[in-house]
Structure 1
Amino acid sequence: MTKPHILQVGPYPEWDETPLNAAFAVHRYFEAADKQAFLAEIGPDIRGIATRGELGASRAMIEACPNLEVISVYGVGYDAVDLAACRERGIRVTNTPDVLTKDVADLGVAMMLCQSRGVIGAETWVRDGSWAGRGLYPLRRRVWGRRAGILGLGRIGLEVAKRLKGFDMQISYSSTRPKPEADGLTFVADPVALARDVDFLFVTLAASAATRHIVGREVIAALGENGMLINISRASNIDEEALLDALEQGTLGSAALDVFEGEPALNPRFLALDNVLLQPHHASGTIETRKAMGQLVRDNLQAHFAGAPLPTPVL
């Protein structure tokens, strides 16, 4: 039986590459020197696309594959997939929710703790001899008992809230509507009002045209010179220029970021700041979760070509 032809947009770990190649005829887009020519040659054969959340699938890529049936995203975010083009052509889209939720929440809370308690700076203080030569590390701010806000109370936001409760924090959230599952949390409809009343603001929104730059100058100003912004969602949810201005001017206390516009080539202004914690978009970066994500990518592709219900459909 002929294997379905799949366009692989970006690399996966070896434990995913091997079974993907066993199940499908895989065409590795990311290895092509002339990608336009590559798509022109193999596009008509392609029935499925296996991509990553940050890479997605553009309208041009979709149009170059006239027999495309399904796009399987390795990641929970699918904002880089042109959904309008998929709807026009009846193309199914899937992602990998749930399997990465708790790891992402773990990293968000770890980033808050690391930045608030100065863990990286303190470790450098020991290594470079400052402890012996200059004395105790400068005091930082506590976490427990303070106020946290969660912008977007979906799966990841709820897991963040669950962890924050262990620190006896006052927790508020903003979402499209009050959530019945938000036990013990305070609903605040306006993101600016949410930011004004918290010390730590976690951004856990799904990205869309409606949420682009939702954390803009007003929200950042409301969070203020003692506040911390933690982003474990998508870079587009934050106005990076406004964020950088506030961090440089001290009108925002600090930030902890796992995602950036144009990553991995992030804005060099970030690298000059000592009040921002930078992470390489690895909130889901555990062996266990990445294996589960890869399995779900393949499960969705195999279900589609077998005519079975998709495990995690988006479209």
Structure 2
Amino acid sequence: MNDARTPSTHVRPKLLLLMPMAQEHQAQLRQRFDVIDAPTAALRAQAVAEHGADIQVVLTIGAVGLRADEIAALPRLGFAAALGAGYENIDVAAARARGIALANGAGTNDACVADHAMALLLASVRALPQQEQALRAGVWRDALPLRPSVNGRRLGILGLGTIGMRIARRAAAFDMEVGYHNRRARPDADSYRYFDSVMALAHWADFLVVAAPGGPGTRHIVNADVLQALGPQGHLVNIARGSLVDTAALAQALAAGQLGGAALDVYESEPHPPQELLGFPNVILTPHIAGWSPESVQATVDLFLLNAQRWQDGQPLQTPL
């Protein structure tokens, strides 16, 4: 008799896909799985109701997650994975209580996210969108305010994980001084200055990049006090999760001139744009694409397939949670 981990050679395991995915990557999944494509809430509920008894694998992302009630409705579920690094909305406790193997896409898009973070920082500090808009309107440089450089400035990184470390290395190439805040200092980051609180980091930094994980423990960790500490010449970049930044406080700080600018790839209102921020010319917004490139997306799919194969073979996962 077959269990969830060792399906018969004649029947491919059923995989519930909970987010949009390009057809070329779905085709890769369909070579190994019977894929149930459920990228919307309605299709998701329908899939669980109609196929829950047979689903053995779930592929999701951190923002979409996998709820405890859904896990309970999938009696044969043996493996669930987040395609990217984040997994904040997967009920890990419920999955572990059932003995379900869990993995994520750690490391697959770190370089791409770090590149995007630096692009946002440069665009915000140098006011690139505003400069282009002025030029298109016929305004030449003599009528525009001088914008500061990033070289020689202080960059604070909130969350010096694998992505944060890549951002730090890129910042060093711009001759920036790097400081960071984690729950504890990293022994392998002696060249960067450690701060034991977000407030201390914000007071020290000229610019602050948010690169910490999402979840209840970091919700609104960048609040009104942190933004005020960053100051009227400071710039905020968020490539982590929208929940880390208090959007209302950010809007108030910008309106009061307490912050120089913000460049965000993630928002509390996703997938809808943050309405409170749309009227500010010194805010740059991108649609949660920091980790998206042809190379990085393919790498996440490849890693998922590797983890799935290792699960089916009874081997340790490559990137377990």
Which TM-score bucket, shorter chain as reference?
over 0.9
Q: Once the 2 structures are TM-superposed, how far is the Cα of residue 204 of structure 1 from its aligned partner?
A: 0.8
Output the aligned Cα RMSD: 1.6
From 142, 157, 174, give the equivalent of 1:167: 174
Residue of structure 2 in register with 1:99 after alignment: 108
Q: Once the 2 structures are TM-superposed, how far is the Cα of residue 268 of structure 1 from its aligned partner?
A: 1.1
Residue of structure 2 in register with 1:57 after alignment: 66
Residue 278 (1) aligns with residue 285 (2)? yes
CA distance in 1, matches of 2:208, 2:198: 10
SS at match of 1:149: strand
Query: Would the aligned equivalents of 2:111 and 2:163 in 1 still touch at CA under 8 Å?
Result: yes
From 68, 72, 77, give the equivalent of 2:77: 68
Q: Once the 2 structures are TM-superposed, how far is the Cα of residue 85 of structure 1 from its aligned partner?
A: 1.5
Residue of structure 1 in register with 2:214 after alignment: 207
Q: Once the 2 structures are TM-superposed, how far is the Cα of residue 33 of structure 1 from its aligned partner?
A: 4.8
Aligned residues: 312
CA distance in 2, matches of 1:255, 1:38: 40
TM-score (norm 2): 0.92
In the alignment, structure 1 segments of 5+ residues that lack a partner are: none
Describe the superposition over 1:157-186 as per-residue Cα deviations: whole angstroms up to 9, x where unpaired. Answer: 111110111121121111111112113211
Structure 1 residues 99 and 38: alpha-carbon distance in aligned structure 2, compared to 1, 3 A threshold: closer
Q: Say which is worse superposed, 159-168 or 175-184, in terms of deviation.
A: 175-184
SS at match of 1:47: strand
From 190, 195, 211, give the equivalent of 1:188: 195
Residue 265 (1) aligns with residue 272 (2)? yes
Residue of structure 1 in register with 2:263 after alignment: 256
Structure 1 residues 35 and 205: alpha-carbon distance in aligned structure 2, compared to 1, 3 A threshold: closer
SS at match of 1:210: helix
From 130, 135, 149, give the equivalent of 2:139: 130
Q: How does 1:1-315 map to 2 (within 5 A)?
A: 1=9, 2-30=11-39, 33=42, 35-131=44-140, 136-314=143-321
CA distance in 1, matches of 2:42, 2:211: 36
Q: Say which is worse superposed, 176-185 or 271-280, in terms of deviation.
A: 176-185
CA distance in 1, matches of 2:233, 2:111: 28
CA distance in 2, matches of 1:39, 1:175: 38
CA distance in 2, matches of 1:253, 1:245: 12
SS at match of 1:230: strand
Identity of aligned residues (%): 39
Q: Once the 2 structures are TM-superposed, how far is the Cα of residue 232 of structure 1 from its aligned partner?
A: 1.0
One-letter code of the match for 2:188? E
CA distance in 1, matches of 2:105, 2:44: 26
CA distance in 2, matches of 1:99, 1:36: 30
CA distance in 1, matches of 2:311, 2:34: 15
Q: Once the 2 structures are TM-superposed, how far is the Cα of residue 31 of structure 1 from its aligned partner?
A: 6.1
Describe the superposition over 1:15-39 as per-residue Cα deviations: whole angstroms up to 9, x where unpaired. Answer: 3111101100111122685543431
SS at match of 1:205: coil
Query: Would the aligned equivalents of 2:224 and 2:246 in 1 still touch at CA under 8 Å?
Result: yes
SS at match of 2:31: helix
CA distance in 1, matches of 2:269, 2:127: 27
In the alignment, structure 2 segments of 5+ residues that lack a partner are: 1-8
TM-score (norm 1): 0.94
SS at match of 1:75: coil
CA distance in 1, matches of 2:87, 2:271: 18
Describe the superposition over 1:94-148 as per-residue Cα deviations: whole angstroms up to 9, x where unpaired. Answer: 11111211111111111110111111111222223333xx854332121111111
